[in-house]
Every structure is written in C-alpha cells, then in structure tokens.
Amino acid sequence: MKTVKRNGIGLLLAVMALLMLGGCGQTASPVEIVELNVFSVHGDGEKIGFFIKWKNVSRDKVIDTVILSVRSDSGNQPFECQIFEPDGIRPGLWNNDHLFFMYTYEMPQQDAKALSIAVSEVCFTDGSRWEASEREQPILVEVDGHKGEGEFPARLHSACFYEDIENSPSYRSLKLQVDWTNTSETNSIIDVMYKITGKSIDGNDTIYFSSHFSLDDWVSASSDYNKNDILDWSTSSVLLERDSSIYELSIWRVVDSKGIVWENPDSDSAIKVVMRGKKGFAFDSASSNASVQELIGRIAEETEKQGLDLGVPEVSVKEQDYCLLRYADVDVRVELSKDNEVYPHSVRLACYLPPSDMEPEPYLQELEKKMESLRICMCAAVLTDLPYTEVIEKVDQYNHDHDDIKRIEFSDTWYNFGDGIFLYDDEEGETGVCGMFTAGKGCLVLGP
C-alpha cells in the first residue's frame, strides 16, 4: 500500500509538471496565426516590419507573450522575436498589437528575401508556458510579398523644395513640403517612399526618400498628410549637388497598417517642382467642377475689364479643400466647401515677375502695377458675398493709397488681408520676384 501511495504522488507531480509546461496539457499551439505580413522599412536605419494577427485558442489560459522562431532564406541561423501583450489576451480573443519592427542589423542575415516563421513558445499570465514540438509547421513569408491591389491609396496634391536655413544654419539642408491624402477607407498609412527625379542637361537622376511614421503620426484612413519633412543629409546633399533646379516628384510606394505594400503603377505621372520656386501641383486637364468653371469665367470677365489676358489656367482640385488655378505667371487659390463649391469669401493671389536685368526700383514698380489690376480682378471674381461696387471701390482705393492706407476696410469687419513681396527661382535657376496677396475671412496665409 505504501508503494502504491508513493507512486500515486509521483504521478500527480508529473501531471502537475505537464500542466505547467504544456498549458493545461495542451499539445497543439495555443496561438492561431490568421494573418502574417513582412515588409521592409527604408530611411533612417533600415528595418523589417511584421504585421501579425493571432488568436488565443487555448481553453482557459491568458497569453501575455508569444515568441516566434524566425529563419531567413539566406542562412540557417534562426533568431527569436518576442511579442508582448502586457494586458493579456484571453481565450477566444485577438491580439491588440499587430505591428512590431526590427532593425536589419539585429538580424543574422540582413538581405533576407523570405522568412520562415513559427510560434516556438507561448507564456501565460499564471507563469506557465507552452513550448512547440518539432512537428510545428512554420509559415513561409516573402518580404514585401503582400502587394496591394486596386487603386493606389495615396493621392498627391502638391509639393515644394526649399532650404532649411533657420534650423540648419551651419550646413545646407532641404525640406520637402508635401500634401497628399490617404484615400483608403479602412487602413492607415505607416510608411511612404517618394521618388524624386532631377532634370538636368546631363540627363535624369532618380533618388528615393522615405518617411516612416511613429504610431502617433500614422496617416489614418480618409485623412490628409500636409507637413514639412526634413530630408536626410545624404538626400539633401545629392539634390543640392545636382546641376538642375527642376524635379519631378511622385509617391512611389506606401505601406499600410496591415503590412500591405502598395507600389504606384502611375509613379511616372509626377508633380513638377522647381527648387525654391513655385509650389508644384497635380493638375487635372479635365476638371468638371461646375463652380470652378464658373469662377474661371468670372476671372476672364474681370481681367478683360482691366486689359489683362491671362489665358486658360491649369486646374488643381483637392476635393472639399481648395482649388488652385495656375495661369502663365499668376496663381489663384480659392477654398472649397464640403460640396466642392467655391467659397465666396477667401482668395489668395501670387504674381510671378520673370527674372530681369532692370534696376530694382522700376522692376518692383512693374510688379506693383500688375498687382493693382490683379487685386481688383480676383477680389471681384471671388468675394461675391460682398457688394460688387464696394469690392471695386475699396481695393482700388488701397491700390492708389496703400502707402497711407495699411489695410482694406471692407464693411464686413471679419475680413482680413495680407500683402507681400518674395523672391523665387524660375526653371533655369534665375531669381525673380513674386507679389502675394490674400483677402478673406479668418486667419490668412500668404501664398498658394
């Protein structure tokens, strides 16, 4: 009897050990991987990104750590990745954190094209763990292998290059000011790569610039990205050393929040950008916005009254935001409503005078003379919620007396205005002057 009792205790201890090591005696993996994508992240230190969606399929254990065994196609030495879920994932629930990243220098093989990934260990909140057997089948995943299909989710609107003198006084640095929209209705964009092609007499040189966004800066579904990106030192150096001032910029690739890699099939349809010059816009030769076409007609009528012939403009429309009309030497920006109607109470104007050998005083007088006519034309054509005769009278009075009259005083006191002169470079790199004017309700910014 005593021997039987001792054997019973030994058996009980063995069962308890099995429970601790095997997650309640479970031999199959307590983690079911539903989706797994691997993608490359370029820029400041290349990384490999992992998107993983898994489910806790254990009977009664809460998971707080999943350990993956990863093997590269370019070598036999495996490495481990730990995925932490501090709040724990209960049975039947999905993981909360789907994305994690590794620097390529942390990997035994840095040029991997595909990875073999398997769950090697699972840790539970009660201190027990599950370890995989040799029978566990790994998942083979190609790096950048999950390609997006359908419409490319990033729509580029405008861009410009300029030197970052204020923040980089000791060396020449460039900023890229870019405006684009994530058109996806479901996924954020977490990584973007721009294609920049410099045009010079020696041919075309193409470089790529990448931005990887932190969690707080993801470009969420159906939202805009409109920021200044400081180009890294190597990219700035290449652009500044090129003997060209004209660049073509497009969005070449994006990665969304599911690790899906989208490559732009129309990346050759790029925005033309002049270094330190006019802002580049995506123009649409077939704009059918009736409100915009009516505005173009009103501008033509007003310029004819002033003896100006601006010709037919190129049109760039950012839906529910703004419209930019680009004539030969004049830009006009108006704001659009949620119905894409032109707002009748805000206009921005930029007039570009070509580079000249004229003396500064007559050169600036020529600019001011042209600005006088344009102020009247654009205010009369756009600010239609004000009485027409008042607009003509007030702007004309400012034109002739603005050495004494510092602002336009419309009867609607909510209107503000701004006026200024700036330098710009043309497509040959020669410097000209640009007059900018804005009038409208609210806080106004000079320039298109």
* Other CB atoms within 10 A of residue 140 CB: 13
- Output 407-416 pairs: Cβ under 8 A, ≥24 positions apart: 408/439, 410/386, 411/386, 411/387, 412/385, 412/386, 412/441, 414/441, 414/442, 415/345, 415/386, 415/439, 415/440, 415/441, 416/440, 416/441, 416/442, 416/443, 416/444
Residue 6 pLDDT greater than 80, yes or no: no
Give the pTM: 0.85
Return the bridge partners of 67, or none. Answer: 82, 121
More confident residue, 1 or 194: 194
Residue 180 pLDDT greater than 60, yes or no: yes
Q: What's the residue count for the chain?
A: 448
CA distance 164 to 300: 38
Amino acid identity, residue 171? Y
Report the pLDDT value the prediction gives residue 295, as an integer from 0 to 100.
96
CA distance 280 to 263: 22
Residue 292 pLDDT greater than 70, yes or no: yes
**Nearest CA among 127, 51, 112 for reference residue 79:** 112
What is the per-residue pLDDT across 371-388, written as a single tens digit (0 to 9) for each? 999 999 999 999 999 999
Report how far apart the first and last C-alpha atoms of the chain are (Å, whole number). Answer: 95
pLDDT class for 17, splitting at 50, 70, 90?
very low
What is the per-residue pLDDT across 250-290, written as a single tens digit (0 to 9) for each? 999 999 999 999 999 887 679 999 988 999 999 987 677 89
Owner of token pair 């995989």: 132
Report the pLDDT value the prediction gives residue 100, as an integer from 0 to 100.
93
Report the pLDDT value the prediction gives residue 13, as an integer from 0 to 100.
37
**DSSP code, position 164:** -
* Other CB atoms within 10 A of residue 20 CB: 14
Return the bridge partners of 107, or none. Answer: none
Report the pLDDT value the prediction gives residue 15, as an integer from 0 to 100.
39
CA distance 341 to 265: 31
**Nearest CA among 196, 205, 337 for reference residue 268:** 196
